[in-house]
Structure 1
Amino acid sequence: MTILIYDNTWPGFLTAIFDAYERKLEQARICPQRTLQPSLLYTPINIITDNVKAKRVWLGLEKKLSRTGLQNVYHSFLSELPAIEDHLLEYIRLALTLDGAEKAYGNSTILRGTQVAKMVYREKHRMEAFVRFQLTKDGIYYGAVDPDFNVLPILISHFEKRYADQKWLIYDLRRKYGIFYDLEKVQEIELDFAKPEGGDIRSIFSEEEEIYQTLWKDYFIHVNIKERRNIKLHLRHVPKRYWKYLIEKSP
């Protein structure tokens, strides 16, 4: 068994797909560097990311898949689920071989790809709703997230349009990178979270931020009608795992 080892990036993954075809590897697997477990049972091949190769693969997929099908491939990749690369390799093989393969839901590979993509899309939608920004002393609105899937790349368009008049940073605490908008463009960044002076994280935020948060909490208290409270319905729309993002849910 041959395993193609790539650098965990989307262009790197597409390059691995290209190399699997170029080398005529029928039984290949694709594995990101971060999850590689050394073994004597496979032959490793390190893939060097090549944007030209990656683009050729994507252009090939554009000829075979609809916009929804292309999104399914990309969103499934962002899921970071175990062995998702192997699944997508098979999905892409089917897409490049059979016309209309993306709608062949009777095929377990196609069905799984669609299901995973929907899971990622739901997480994206929830992040759009639940991100709460806090104003820092530098005039940047900062929001920390910890999504199940790597959805930051597909959040850019929503926040760039909605908050085009202010600087903001959404940081993924689990994956240790963020997307930063500087009023002109969005770029990916990494931060060194050194403990602030005094050891209190609140020291990095604007003095007005605590006032705004208090007002926001008071607003939710006053609009809450106890007699109409439906905890079961509330948890369905706002699962507890998202409460950590919500200012109105903090003590």
Structure 2
Amino acid sequence: MQNTFIYDGSFNGLLTAIFEIYELKIKNVRIVAKHYYEASFFEEYHEVITNEEKANRVWKAVIKYGKPIDAHLIYRCFLSEINGIEQNLFNYIKILISKKQSIAKDYGQADVFHLAEVNKKIGREKHRMDAFVRFRKTKDNIYFASISPDFNVLPLLEKHFQKRYADQLWCIYDICRNYGLYYDLNSVKIVHFDLPENILNTSDEIFQKEEIQYQKLWKNYFESTNIKARANQKLHEQHVPRRYWKYLSEKNLLNW
């Protein structure tokens, strides 16, 4: 019979599940996030209660036996939120602990190769968020940007934007996952808001009028400098995929 460990979807929850699998010496296991779990008659399930101490012990083992590249790979792939990624991560950690050395380049291992491919997708999504995030100044003098990436890359954006906009108040909010990063000129904090449904639309109730006017000017400039006869739509969409246009004021300011 298969043993299924159900965790809360957090990174510490996943590490806690891995600790308990080792602690109980259970074989034939799978790990699944609570929001993906579907009950089956042919399994025994274990509900995991996230425990920071247990999670830290697993993470310390990863750091001890692996290299920074292993830790980065594990965390970044966890952020993909791909259904079933937990099994690949568990297998990766199990092999790492067994070999007591880095396996990040051991592409002969199916799980390592799969995670390397997932990591590439995470890297592309992060890079595009770095490039396509557009801030708008609110009436509270906070530069606000909303995003809805395919993967949960918001934690990976912190360093880039803190360094680039160190002298400004800003907030980047993931409207799909309902949390954001807020920089108060000293540190970055995780925040949760009850945002209005029209937050993606330009609104003078939230944003400064000067900001709206500036974005309209920028859109007009973009349109006036665009030479339609030389346009290469296919190439353009390769560099700026259509799903990112909603972030760009020069693309579709009035219909975000």
Q: So what's the TM-score if we normalise by structure 1?
A: 0.93
Moved over 3 A (4+): 199-202, 225-228
Equivalence for 1:2: 3
RMSD across aligned positions (CA)? 1.9
Equivalence for 2:148: 146
- On the 8 A contact 1:5/1:45 being kept in 2, the answer is yes
Question: Shift of the alpha carbon at 1:76?
Answer: 0.8
Alpha-carbon distance between aligned partners in 2 of 1:170 and 1:42, rounded to the nearest angstrom: 41
Q: Structure 1 residues 133 and 65, CA, compared in 2 at 3 Å: closer, same or farther?
A: same
- On the 8 A contact 1:71/1:117 being kept in 2, the answer is no
Question: Shift of the alpha carbon at 1:107?
Answer: 1.7
Equivalence for 1:108: 110
Percent of paired sites with the same residue: 45
- On the 8 A contact 2:204/2:212 being kept in 1, the answer is no
Structure 2 counterparts to residues 66-145 of structure 1, below 5 A: 66-98=67-99, 99-145=101-147
Moved more, 71-80 or 180-189: 180-189
Equivalence for 2:51: 50
Give the aligned residue type for 2:51.
D
Alpha-carbon distance between aligned partners in 2 of 1:179 and 1:220, rounded to the nearest angstrom: 29
Question: Shift of the alpha carbon at 1:71?
Answer: 1.3
Give the aligned residue type for 1:73.
I
What SS does the corresponding residue of 2:205 show, helix, strand or coil?
helix
Alpha-carbon distance between aligned partners in 2 of 1:97 and 1:80, rounded to the nearest angstrom: 26
Q: Structure 1 residues 177 and 85, CA, compared in 2 at 3 Å: closer, same or farther?
A: same
Question: Shift of the alpha carbon at 1:195?
Answer: 5.7
- On the 8 A contact 1:195/1:201 being kept in 2, the answer is no
Unaligned runs of 5+ in 1: none
Q: Structure 1 residues 200 and 227, CA, compared in 2 at 3 Å: closer, same or farther?
A: closer
Unaligned runs of 5+ in 2: none
Can you list the C-alpha shifts for 1:116-163, whole angstroms capped at 9, x where unaligned? 111111101111111111111111111111100001111111111111
Q: So what's the TM-score if we normalise by structure 2?
A: 0.91
Alpha-carbon distance between aligned partners in 2 of 1:163 and 1:102, rounded to the nearest angstrom: 33
Structure 2 counterparts to residues 9-28 of structure 1, below 5 A: 9-28=10-29
* Paired residues, number: 249
- On the 8 A contact 1:152/1:178 being kept in 2, the answer is yes
Question: Shift of the alpha carbon at 1:201?
Answer: 4.3
Alpha-carbon distance between aligned partners in 1 of 2:212 and 2:202, rounded to the nearest angstrom: 14
1:204 equivalent in alignment to 2:198: no
